[in-house]
Amino acid sequence: AFTMANVPEAPEDPLYRLMREYRQDTNEKKIDLGIGAYRDEHGKPWVLPVVKKAEALLQTPEFNHEYLPIRGLDSFLAAAQRLMLGNDSPAIHENRISSMQTVSGTGAVHLGATFISRFCRGTERPKALISDPTWPNHYQIFSQSEFDVQYYPYYSVETQKIDIKAMIRCLEEAPSKSLVVLQGCAHNPTGLDPSKEEWSQIADVMAEKGHLPFFDNAYQGFASGDLTQDSWACRYFIGRGFECCIAQSFAKNLGMYGERVGTFHYICSPSPDASHIADRISSQLAILQRAHISNPPAYGAHIASRVLNDPELFAQWQHELGIMSSRLTKVREEIRSKLEARETPGSWAFLSTQIGMFSYTGLSKDQIRLLKSKWHIYMTENGRISVAGLNPNNMEYFIDAVDDVVR
């Protein structure tokens, strides 16, 4: 008879294991620096007031819980395009974008990976290049979509900076027409983004090799606090005429992690036929979407649409993004100045140059283990801390702990 008895046990996802260990830890001083979710200065999740307001506005007698179309909520999709590409984007006006609402950023990366894998296959598996290090799910998603996944060098442990030369060299040596995953801003886990000059070097080599940029933009508004500035890299590539994929998440910037609001955009390069190509791409994305989720979750998209389309709510959102990103900057500065004041061994200046939700501490595996076992401080094994987990109540304890384990 049919049996699944020979299915081997898979390892637990390391990040979710860490979250479980944290939950099970009964020590009252424990600190969670694992998950990339914003916490306020009391260590609590923050429901953005603008989200509460938009949610209240939805509660009219006409509101219902009907299905959305396969592609998602049109008012949300159009606003999401404008947010990422700019109101005056030629790609929008020339109708050469194909957009689908997805199950947050993860679903967007997944839909894009599935689509590209299916339609750009020659005799060999297509190649996807992802940064070393990156969000671990990039590897899983692209390999499950049957890409041959390789890492390109990104972070240099010695300099604690981006190794742009090694990255460019790797992109140069990769087979032409590879898919290259780029994080649009607030790189996870390093907190380091290329400068504008470096982005232009990356674009040069990618144009020369005919690579496809696949932007994963999960933190728009978190890097600088400014939504426009944080979409600069995507807009720059599109402005140069690249054919381009973008995965856009509203989990972090609207603080709607569990509502799963996101979009996948495929931007066709300018050509007389571009809007027809985009239509055909939309038709294929709809087939994939139908088989996978039928249609995307509605509730969060309705909230996001309200915020994005109402000028007053939009202004309030920008203000609240500023609150989150400036708190993270302040926490980083505080860690740095406190460790320097203690003369904790090591160089901590990098904390000031990193941006976004995370800092890459450079702590060793042993130090990270000790932080967990002795101090009940939980961070991922690569030494990444989610800066939002620190606040005035646990900062001194954290500094004591780091000072202890590095001495």
Q: Please state whether the peptide bond connecting residue 133 to the residue before it is cis, i.e. omega within 30 degrees of 0.
A: yes
- CA distance linking residue 190 with residue 355, whole number of Å: 9
Task: Tell me whether residue 252 is one of the annotated catalytic residues.
Answer: yes
Among positions 98, 178, 188, 359, the unique one binding ligand PLP when judged by CB under 6 A: 188
- Rule CB under 6 A: is residue 259 a binding residue for ligand PLP? no
Residue type, 211: H
Task: Tell me whether residue 348 is one of the annotated catalytic residues.
Answer: no
Pick the catalytic residue from 193, 216, 230, 348.
216
Pick the catalytic residue from 252, 317, 338, 348.
252
Find the binding residues for ligand PLP in span 189-248 (CB under 6 A): 216, 218
Of the candidates 258, 343, 248, the one whose C-alpha atom is nearest the C-alpha of residue 51 is 258
Find the binding residues for ligand PLP in span 122-141 (CB under 6 A): 135
Q: How far is the CB of 26 from ligand PLP (least distance, A)?
A: 27
H helix or E strand, kind and range, residue 98: strand 97-103
The neighbour count for residue 139, using CB atoms within 10 Å, is 17
Of the candidates 74, 2, 147, the one whose C-alpha atom is nearest the C-alpha of residue 298 is 74
- CA distance linking residue 240 with residue 223, whole number of Å: 23
Among positions 80, 171, 251, 321, the unique one binding ligand PLP when judged by CB under 6 A: 251
C-alpha angle 165-170-173 in degrees, rounded to nearest 5: 125
Number of residues that bind ligand PLP (CB under 6 A): 13
Q: Which is nearer to ligand PLP, 39 or 338 (CB)?
A: 39
The neighbour count for residue 196, using CB atoms within 10 Å, is 10
Of the candidates 141, 96, 88, the one whose C-alpha atom is nearest the C-alpha of residue 271 is 96
Token pair for 48? 């953005």
Find the binding residues for ligand PLP in span 56-115 (CB under 6 A): 104-106
- Rule CB under 6 A: is residue 386 a binding residue for ligand PLP? no
Task: Tell me whether residue 216 is one of the annotated catalytic residues.
Answer: yes
Q: How far is the CB of 293 from ligand PLP (least distance, A)?
A: 13
Q: Which residue is nearest to ligand PLP (CB)?
A: 105
Q: Which is nearer to ligand PLP, 251 or 267 (CB)?
A: 251
- Rule CB under 6 A: is residue 36 a binding residue for ligand PLP? yes
- Residues tagged active-site: 135, 216, 252
Contacting positions for ligand PLP (CB under 6 A): 36, 104-106, 135, 183, 188, 216, 218, 249, 251, 257, 262
